[in-house]
Structure 1
Amino acid sequence: MPVPIIIGAVAAAAGLYGIAKGVSGAKDHSNAKNINQSAKNRVDETSTLINQNREATNNVIEDYGQRKLRAFNGVISEFIETFGRIKNVELSASPELEKLQAGDFTKTTLADLRQDYQMLKDAGLGLGAGMGSGAALAFGAYNGTMLLATASTGTAISSLSGAAATNATLAWLGGGSLATGGFGMAGGMMVLGGIVAGPALAIFGHILGNKGEEALNNARSNMEQAKTFCEDGALMVAKLQAIEKVTSLANNVFSLTSGRLRGTVHNMKDALEHYGENFRDFPQESKEAVFMSVKYAQLLKAMIDTPILDQDGNLVLSTEKRVIDIAAVSAGEKSQLDAVEA
């Protein structure tokens, strides 16, 4: 065979190989682009879901904190003033309240309520004062002791407004990012019960400059990272939903109990108006109103002392049962969730 023919055949084969590789490379680029877009869509959907649940959880905790403040400035303050006018009060023990370890009301709970309310007033959160979102978030998530004890040391409760920032979970819930480094979504995953997000998702870079096969491999790696992110995100959403559920339950029980306290305080005022300030002169019905008022005040104090989150930002697992038990005592029923969610 003449040499030129051989050379021509080799050149033709090389040309065909080059065309095939070019087609394959273009196809790889197209596949890589599709995989990358799919990975990005997954991450975007998970991020949106996380953010929606973050905002919902933040809102319900804030609302609970505001409700506690309104109760202190309203029905709790009114109870303290009204009950304090009654002389020679004799209270019978309540086995239900003892089970909740609510303590001796006259020596402990009433003094604690007065102290807590005084601390709030000292912090500038008395009647008519507003509470910023950070303080409301902290007041909803923590128990009274965690927030108010600093006042007894002479420290102003500026920690109320800064409490959210001292807790990574609350900082993330309130702002969507962490003050210490701004880790954003991945940071939120790390603070919510130790969930660790996958590697930083710098996965959506340009692939056109890569060779087709390399771009396809990178895209597949991106998809694996996106899957890890979505799996962690699902766990994170579950934790947020659990926090929201317990906080909503507590908010509902607190609202119902404070409403019952408001009614009994009104009855106490009527008794004072008609029978004077000596408890011994009250008819049995009015004495029962005093007892019920004390009972509801104890239950509200128990609610205030029950945190939603611990100092590390994790849901306190025992809180849900305690709130259900408080609701049952408030309703005069056995501990049944139906009594709360009805």
Structure 2
Amino acid sequence: MPIPLIIGAAAAAAGIYGAVKGVSGAIDQSTAKDINNSARSSVERANQELDELRSVTNETLEDYGQRKLRAFNGVISDFIETFQQIKNVDLKQSPELDKLNAGDFSSTTLLSLRQDYQALKDAGLGLGAGIGGGAALAFGAYNGTMLLATASTGTAISSLGGVAATNATLAWLGGGSLAAGGYGVAGGMMVLGGIVAGPALAIFGHVLGNKGEEALNKANANREQAHTICEQASLMGEKLKAITEVTVLANTTFSNVSSRLRHAVSDIKKVIDSEGLDFSGYTEKGKAAIFSAVKFAQLLKAMIDTPILDQEGNLVLSTQKRVLDVNEVTKGQKASLDSIAN
């Protein structure tokens, strides 16, 4: 075969091969672009859903914190002021009322309630004061001991919001989406589940490599990373749902106990008006009214002492059971009082 003919055939074959590779490269580039767009969309969607859950959890904890403050400035303050007027109170010498189980409400418990309320007033959160979002978030998440420790030593809390800021989870819950970046987000993710935060949306830049195969490999790697981020977001979402569920339960129970205590304090005032201030001279019905208020105050104190989150920002797993127990005791308390009244 003549050499020119061979060279011509080789050139033609090379041309065909180059054309095929060119088309293949273009297809790979297009596929890579589609994969990257899909990965980006999945992360954006996961981020949006997570941010919505974060917002709901934040609002739920804030609402619970506001309810606690209202109770301190309302029914708890009213109970303390009313109860301390009564003289010679003996919570252990009424066998007919033993089923109320009020004997474990010690003077220490009452003192602790007074100290908590005084701490709030020292912090500038007494009657008529408001509470900011960060403070309400911390007040809803923490128990009284954790939140009021500095105030109880005589040091006024200048900003309860600062308590939230020291906790990565609360800092994240209080503001900032997954895409916002920063320690609050990364810290919140790690606290909520030992998750190492990825750079999220930043990983999905447009692939500009000249080689279609390289672009496709990078896109596939991005897709895998997006899948990991979405799984992490899903895990965080489940933890947020759990926090919200427990907080809603605590809020409802706290509201119920507060309402019971409010009615009980009203009954105490009626007893004082009709039977005076000496507990030893009260009728059994009058003593029952005192036991009722004491027990509901004890239950409310138990709720105040029950945190939703620990100091590391994790959901306290025992909280749900404790709140359910308080709820059951509240129902049983009312039933016992009804039987005595009748």
Q: What TM-score do the two structures reach when normalised by structure 1?
A: 0.90
- What amino acid maps onto 2:233 in structure 1? G
How far residue 168 of structure 1 moved from its aligned partner, in angstroms, is: 0.8
Question: Partner residue of 1:57?
Answer: 57
Quick check: 196-205 or 136-145, which moved more?
196-205
Structure 1 residue ranges (4+ consecutive) displaced by more than 4 angstroms after TM superposition: 93-98, 198-201
Question: Partner residue of 2:308?
Answer: 308
Change (3 A) 1:296 1:273: same
- What amino acid maps onto 1:211 in structure 2? K
Distance 1:136 1:69 in 2: 8
Give CA-to-partner distance per residue, 1:191-239, whole Å, 9 cap, x none: 2132224565533112134310000000000011011111111111111
Question: Partner residue of 1:202?
Answer: 202
Q: Work out whether 1:214 is the aligned partner of 2:214.
A: yes
- What amino acid maps onto 2:255 in structure 1? S
Distance 2:248 2:177 in 1: 24
Question: Partner residue of 1:329?
Answer: 329
Distance 1:270 1:55 in 2: 44
How far residue 328 of structure 1 moved from its aligned partner, in angstroms, is: 0.6
Distance 1:187 1:223 in 2: 24
Question: Partner residue of 2:267?
Answer: 267
Q: Is the 8 A contact 1:76 1:297 kept in 2?
A: yes
How far residue 185 of structure 1 moved from its aligned partner, in angstroms, is: 4.4
Change (3 A) 1:97 1:210: farther
Which segments of 5 or more consecutive residues in structure 1 lack a partner in the other structure? 334-342
Distance 2:35 2:199 in 1: 18
Question: Partner residue of 2:340?
Answer: none
Change (3 A) 1:209 1:97: farther
Question: Partner residue of 1:236?
Answer: 236
Q: Is the 8 A contact 2:82 2:265 kept in 1?
A: yes
Distance 1:96 1:312 in 2: 39
How far residue 187 of structure 1 moved from its aligned partner, in angstroms, is: 3.8
Question: Partner residue of 2:39?
Answer: 39
Question: Partner residue of 2:112?
Answer: 112
Distance 1:87 1:193 in 2: 52
How far residue 151 of structure 1 moved from its aligned partner, in angstroms, is: 1.6
Question: Partner residue of 2:336?
Answer: none
> Percent same amino acid among aligned pairs?
68
Q: Is the 8 A contact 1:177 1:184 kept in 2?
A: no
How far residue 140 of structure 1 moved from its aligned partner, in angstroms, is: 0.7
Distance 2:81 2:114 in 1: 10
Task: Give 3-state SS (helix, strand or coil) of 1:158's partner.
Answer: coil
Give CA-to-partner distance per residue, 1:154-206, whole Å, 9 cap, x none: 3221252210001111111101269xx81464443212132224565533112
Change (3 A) 1:67 1:103: farther
Q: How many residues align?
A: 329
Change (3 A) 1:184 1:4: farther
Which segments of 5 or more consecutive residues in structure 2 lack a partner in the other structure? 334-342
How far residue 95 of structure 1 moved from its aligned partner, in angstroms, is: 7.8
Question: Partner residue of 1:121?
Answer: 121
Distance 1:89 1:270 in 2: 17
Give CA-to-partner distance per residue, 1:254-297, whole Å, 9 cap, x none: 00000000001111111111222122333322211111100000
Superposition map of 1:1-342 within 5 A: 1-92=1-92, 104-158=104-158, 160-176=160-176, 182-183=182-183, 185-198=185-198, 202-332=202-332
Change (3 A) 1:103 1:121: farther
Change (3 A) 1:183 1:122: closer
Distance 2:184 2:120 in 1: 32
Q: Is the 8 A contact 1:25 1:212 kept in 2?
A: yes
